[in-house]
Every structure is written in C-alpha cells, then in structure tokens.
Amino acid sequence: MVQYKYQKVRLVCKGIIKGCDQCSDVDFSEGYCKFCGRPLWKKINEQCSFVLGYMDSTIRKQGKLDIICRNCKTILTI
C-alpha cells in the first residue's frame, strides 16, 4: 500500500454564524452587516465552513497560533 503525504493541510472554520438585532430579519443578501459583520448570505446559527487558509504540513509546530475567522469571529488555535 502506498501512503501519500500531503504538502498542505486546509484549515476550515467550524464556528457558528452569529447575528445582531438589525440583521436578524434579513433572509438572503450580498455583503456584510454593518453592525456585527455577519455575511448576509449565511443564516444565523449556521455552520461557517469558511476556508481560512492552507498550512504547510512539513513545518514543525513551534508554538500556538491563533487565527480569527473574519465571518464568524471564531478563534481557531493551531
């Protein structure tokens, strides 16, 4: 059996989309809410599933790295 090592690992946000009172009645639209920053094409309490980036898997871990998702403001620690 041949085992492949991937060069890059995709980082995907698994946070939940939050909203505010001003954008809770908006169903579907383009852009972002100007008060809370919610992407208006996603529903409130939906999983974010935003691709944060690609990490090189050959680099050794030197410490913790915090990445903040711009859609749902969830902090991902690598």
Residue 12, pLDDT > 80, answer yes
Mean pLDDT within 8-15: 87
Range of the structural domain that residue 5 is part of: 1-78
Residue 50, pLDDT > 60, answer yes
Q: How confident is the model at residue 10 (pLDDT cuts 50, 70, 90)?
A: confident
pLDDT at 47: 92
pLDDT at 16: 92
Angle CA 57–63–67, to nearest 5: 75
Contact at 8 Å (CB) between 70 and 53? no
Mean pLDDT within 57-73: 79
How many domains does the chain contain in total? Answer: 1
Between 57 and 43, whose confidence is greater?
43
Q: What distance in Å separates the CA atoms of residue 8 and residue 3, rounded to the nearest whole number?
A: 15
